[in-house]
């Protein structure tokens, strides 16, 4: 791990800044800890030097924590982000995870909670950027489920992957139900297990949730993974307009070009100086420029309206329809035949985005 990684701690209360600066100084990796009392100061510091981790409060004057986090996720996607708050509000929690924070933590009040907080921060600093589910640690979804079941925990595991959200209900170590999009039970569980990355959060158990999955978790996980492996080997075209999942190492533009109804595909870095690839476009330079400018404009609008992160844009026209979806520092843009309905374009873009982002 690189020496002297930097943590930026943001809170409008100077006493709390001093307290948590002392707490973070106990971390084994000995990071350098800097502080800021408002979002504007934090933004200036982020522009002037590299940080590995941002920890911020939610309620601050002028620019609140959610606004700051949204800007950081867009401009500095490599920075790990943590909410440290005393606000016990499910709406704030959901909005923070929707933005893409790594950890939402209620300010610790005991020595055990402080130590757990330090351990989680250490995990965020030392893990490498790789596929996995962002939360307390970087794990595969299979790892998370096995851990919860072996511990005989009861909770609802909520998983967010781009525009898709799924829930898995665990009761005393048994997986009893799942829901994703319009699916429930085993079909939903199998769909969620195909997601390679995303954000997860643990919600309180729902003891009155009816049991829809009867298999024990070992049999369920084994059958699900076998089904996924067999599906990837066969890779038949999907009947609902989406392309089959890409094979290992297959270029994204290759399988995106097979989408039913797609006329072109474009993948570009959000940075104007970054890379861009297209398939099926004559004037690719204009399309790349439009995609970058459109993402930037809509993200600015979302910030002003406090609407949360941009998920998907769909433009319908008489000659061609276009959809755009951002992911970290990249953009996916797809062109569609004009005979497709708005619902078809929305559904196919969402499925293509999920495969591409995974």
**Given 175, 201, 234, which residue is the final one in a domain?**
234
Residue 161 per-residue DSSP state: E
**Given 66, 97, 129, which residue is the final one in a domain?**
129
**Given 78, 97, 129, which residue is the final one in a domain?**
129
Q: Which of 51, 86, 125, 80 is nearest to 43 (CA)?
A: 51
What pLDDT does 138 receive? Answer: 43
Structure tokens at 300: 């600015």
Kindly state whether residues 305 and 260 are assigned to the same domain: yes
Kindly state whether residues 199 and 311 are assigned to the same domain: no
Widest distance between CA atoms in the chain? 63
What pLDDT does 8 receive? Answer: 94
Kindly state whether residues 323 and 281 are assigned to the same domain: yes
What pLDDT does 128 receive? Answer: 44
What pLDDT does 196 receive? Answer: 64
Kindly state whether residues 202 and 286 are assigned to the same domain: no
Structure tokens at 65: 């924590």
Report whether 64 contacts 39 (CB < 8 A): yes
Instruction: Name the domain count of the chain.
Output: 3
Residue 162 per-residue DSSP state: T
- Residues of the chain with pLDDT below 50 are 1-2, 128-132, 134-138, 235-245, 247-249
Between β-strands 198-203 and 133-134, what pairing exists: parallel, antiparallel or unpaired? Answer: parallel
Q: How far apart are CA 83 and CA 152, in angstroms?
A: 28
What pLDDT does 80 receive? Answer: 87
Between β-strands 262-269 and 321-327, what pairing exists: parallel, antiparallel or unpaired? Answer: unpaired
Please classify residue 109 by burial: count the beta carbons closer than 10 Å to its beta carbon, then call 0-12 exposed, 13-18 middle and 19+ buried. Answer: exposed
Structure tokens at 172: 């005393």
Residue 12 covered by a domain: yes
Report whether 133 contacts 144 (CB < 8 A): yes
Between β-strands 183-184 and 174-180, what pairing exists: parallel, antiparallel or unpaired? Answer: antiparallel
Kindly state whether residues 163 and 66 are assigned to the same domain: no
What pLDDT does 232 receive? Answer: 52
Q: How far apart are CA 77 and CA 6, in angstroms?
A: 16
The CATH number that applies at residue 258 is: 3.30.450.30
Residue 247 covered by a domain: no
Count the Cβ atoms, other than its own, within 10 Å of residue 236. 7
Kindly state whether residues 229 and 264 are assigned to the same domain: no
What pLDDT does 10 receive? Answer: 92
What pLDDT does 45 receive? Answer: 93
What pLDDT does 242 receive? Answer: 43
pLDDT digits (tens, 9 = 90+) for 81-114: 888 888 766 677 777 776 777 778 888 878 877 8
Residue 1 covered by a domain: no
The CA–CA distances, whole Å, from 262 to 16, 45, 142, 357 equal 53, 43, 33, 18
The number of residues making up the chain comes to 358
pLDDT digits (tens, 9 = 90+) for 62-71: 788 888 888 8
Between β-strands 103-106 and 133-134, what pairing exists: parallel, antiparallel or unpaired? Answer: unpaired
Residue 243 covered by a domain: no
What pLDDT does 130 receive? Answer: 42
Scored b (16 or more CB within 10 A) or e, 80-95 reads bbbbbbebeeeebbbb
Contacts of 273 (CB under 8 A, 6+ apart): none
What pLDDT does 309 receive? Answer: 76
What range does the domain containing 209 cover? 141-234
């Amino acid at each position: 791990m690189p020496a002297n990684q930097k943590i930026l701690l943001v809170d409008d209360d100077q006493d709390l800044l001093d307290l948590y600066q002392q707490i973070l100084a106990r971390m084994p990796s000995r990071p350098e800890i800097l502080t800021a009392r408002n979002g504007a100061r934090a933004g200036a510091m982020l522009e002037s030097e590299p940080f590995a981790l941002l920890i911020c409060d939610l309620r601050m004057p002028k620019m609140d924590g959610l606004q700051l986090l949204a800007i950081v996720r867009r401009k500095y996607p490599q920075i790990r982000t943590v909410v440290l708050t005393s606000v016990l509000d499910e709406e704030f929690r959901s909005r923070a995870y929707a933005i893409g924070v790594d950890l939402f933590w209620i300010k610790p009040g005991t020595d055990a909670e402080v130590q757990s907080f330090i351990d989680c921060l250490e995990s965020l600093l030392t893990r490498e950027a790789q596929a996995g589910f962002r939360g307390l640690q970087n794990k595969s979804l299979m790892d998370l489920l096995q851990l919860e079941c072996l511990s005989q925990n009861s909770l609802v595991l909520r998983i967010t992957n781009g525009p898709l959200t799924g829930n898995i209900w665990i009761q005393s170590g048994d997986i009893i139900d799942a829901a994703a999009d319009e699916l429930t039970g085993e079909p939903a569980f199998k769909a969620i297990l195909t997601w390679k990355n995303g954000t997860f959060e643990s919600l309180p158990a729902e003891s009155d949730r009816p049991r829809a999955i009867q298999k024990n978790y070992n049999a369920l996980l084994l059958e699900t993974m076998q089904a996924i492996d067999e599906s990837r080997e066969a890779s038949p075209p999907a009947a609902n307009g989406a392309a089959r999942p890409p094979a290992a190492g297959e270029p994204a533009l290759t399988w995106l070009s097979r989408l039913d109804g797609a006329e072109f595909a474009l993948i570009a870095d959000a940075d104007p100086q970054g890379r861009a690839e297209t398939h099926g476009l004559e004037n690719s330079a204009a399309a790349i420029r439009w995609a970058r400018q459109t993402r930037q404009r809509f993200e600015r609008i979302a910030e002003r309206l406090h609407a949360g992160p941009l998920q998907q844009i769909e433009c319908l026209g008489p000659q061609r329809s276009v959809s755009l979806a951002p992911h970290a520092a990249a953009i996916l843009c797809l062109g569609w035949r004009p005979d497709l309905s708005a619902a078809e374009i929305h559904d196919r873009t969402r499925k293509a985005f999920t495969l591409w982002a995974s």
